[in-house]
Structure 1
């Protein structure tokens, strides 16, 4: 007797895998669009490695395979964070964002965990050929991200108090900045710990501007995860603006454009123009009666500042092309 393809277990499994792949593709297109996540990963790595190159100008910084591999590593780590956050926030999303993929049933937890496993395999491939240290640090980072799920379920304080949650969850981002520094050090042999700290602080200030901006509301919204619900509108705006200015001050302190000469000076001052996005966001928030600080200008500030740092590093350091 012949078994038809429609009833064969292998055929059914193949169709199920194909359906899961389509669902995952749709999930990432909705919750982690490439135009945002890829651009962020590219600019983050280029800006931080550019910062490290400016701090260690005597070293041979190259735009090559190692840099591309690090960008891919950070991009996949960001996807991993997105997948974990989707599971971690499920109960909150069922109440406040039921249209998101997981609560509405467009994806399930099993499929998200398969995606996590595939990402880990890809990350091992991207870091294994470069350095065991990069592998170990990345696995530590991904493990910490997973630990956050259990921590939020165990602790109501971590889950419900937004500043405590930020204090606990931001180290996942900071550890990625350290990974970028380790990648730079492996590729160039440079980069003392003080450079890593300064670079991480710079990235923290820039990212925190976006973090506080997108969760700053004009009014108190009961149950919403807004920093302004806790510290008030003025306090949240002060954090938003203060982080942007702190990030800018650190950038200018690294580049020191007032000490440059000729056309390089223009590249050195380029990051300062990112303040236009800060001004635009503040103006829209105060004059247009928007319920929250507009995320577009906040992301624009981050992207343009990072781009400016990389351009300045290119102009000042003039890296080589290679591995």
Structure 2
């Protein structure tokens, strides 16, 4: 990167973010994720929950961590993208690896400072997620099968999402807002099921285009559909465990189950094409939004 080019870096990064990290998707997801997990953690204890300044720090930290991981993925997938996605920014030169790494350093410093201002434990928890992402980059370089086999790749990459959930919940626990117990485990499982339902939905199809790394290519479309629906069912079970004793209103998030049921029916009935992704996205949004509303309404 030359000195002459340096003034153009923010604009190049901005264009990268708008294309590869669409704010309307990733920022909304990060916001709903934090609000739902934090609100549910507090409401499940019978305590009134209201978002505050600490909530804002968690939202900013999670969104920036997702951006960090997206920038890392862009670099990890470069060889694959040169063949199958030649229009990606890193392939075309719209952004460079050096610019992405520089932005990742800035993100690391920023999230560390934000969380260290609250507690050392918060800073370590968010750094654990970023550090695991970097470890994965090394792992995929040493063992290409991790990237080439979707199910194996998911098994080793999913912990990044889990670590971010642990960061949110752990931040609440270290602040004394909640006491870590079985409800925390059920809540982490709920968020895992919501994410994995969407993750399987976006990589399940009857046909596998060249270069596509689909779970259905390994499991078969029928079994992949069953797993996709199973994760949605798992989320509903976790919601019932957490809220069933609190009355009918507490089961509001369970209404989201109609979405994966509809998606499963459509996919199996069609016998071709991909899983109806908008339905899977709606399941994530409705579930997290319902959990957030419930946390505000419950006494």
> Does the CA contact (< 8 Å) of 1:54 and 1:255 recur in 2?
no
What's the offset of the Cα at 1:161? 1.5
| 1:307 aligned residue | 289
CA distance in 2, matches of 1:310, 1:21: 34
What's the offset of the Cα at 1:290? 5.9
What's the offset of the Cα at 1:137? 1.7
CA distance in 2, matches of 1:137, 1:124: 10
What's the offset of the Cα at 1:36? 0.8
What's the offset of the Cα at 1:66? 0.5
Task: Please give the TM-score of this superposition, normalised by the length of structure 1.
Answer: 0.87
What's the offset of the Cα at 1:96? 1.4
2:18 is aligned with 1:29: yes
2:135 is aligned with 1:136: no
**Where does the alignment leave 5 or more consecutive residues of structure 1 unmatched?**
1-11, 318-323
Q: Say if 1:108 and 1:290 are closer, same or farther in 2 by CA, change over 3 A.
A: farther
What's the offset of the Cα at 1:295? 2.0
Deviation above 4 Å: which 4+ runs of structure 1?
Answer: 286-290
What's the offset of the Cα at 1:135? 0.8
What's the offset of the Cα at 1:288? 5.7
Give runs of aligned pairs for residues 109-258 of structure 1, distance below 5 A. Answer: 109-256=97-244
1:51 to 40, 43, 68: 40
Q: Say if 1:254 and 1:134 are closer, same or farther in 2 by CA, change over 3 A.
A: same
SS of the equivalent of 2:43 reads: helix
2:274 to 280, 286, 292: 292
2:54 to 59, 62, 66: 66
CA distance in 2, matches of 1:282, 1:189: 38
CA distance in 1, matches of 2:111, 2:6: 22
| 1:92 aligned residue | 80
CA distance in 2, matches of 1:70, 1:185: 13
> Does the CA contact (< 8 Å) of 1:278 and 1:301 recur in 2?
yes
> Does the CA contact (< 8 Å) of 2:205 and 2:221 recur in 1?
yes
Task: Please give the TM-score of this superposition, normalised by the length of structure 2.
Answer: 0.93
CA distance in 2, matches of 1:66, 1:147: 28
**Where does the alignment leave 5 or more consecutive residues of structure 2 unmatched?**
none
CA distance in 2, matches of 1:140, 1:286: 40
Q: Say if 1:315 and 1:279 are closer, same or farther in 2 by CA, change over 3 A.
A: same
Aligned residues: 298
What's the offset of the Cα at 1:304? 0.6
The alignment yields a C-alpha RMSD, in angstroms, of 1.9
Provide, for residues 94-115 of structure 1, a one-character-per-residue CA deviation record: whole Å limited to 9, x for no partner: 1111111111221110010011
CA distance in 2, matches of 1:64, 1:189: 12
> Does the CA contact (< 8 Å) of 1:41 and 1:74 recur in 2?
yes
What's the offset of the Cα at 1:294? 2.4
Provide, for residues 198-235 of structure 1, a one-character-per-residue CA deviation record: whole Å limited to 9, x for no partner: 22111110100000000001124454200010010111
What's the offset of the Cα at 1:272? 2.2
> Does the CA contact (< 8 Å) of 2:121 and 2:171 recur in 1?
no
> Does the CA contact (< 8 Å) of 1:152 and 1:158 recur in 2?
yes
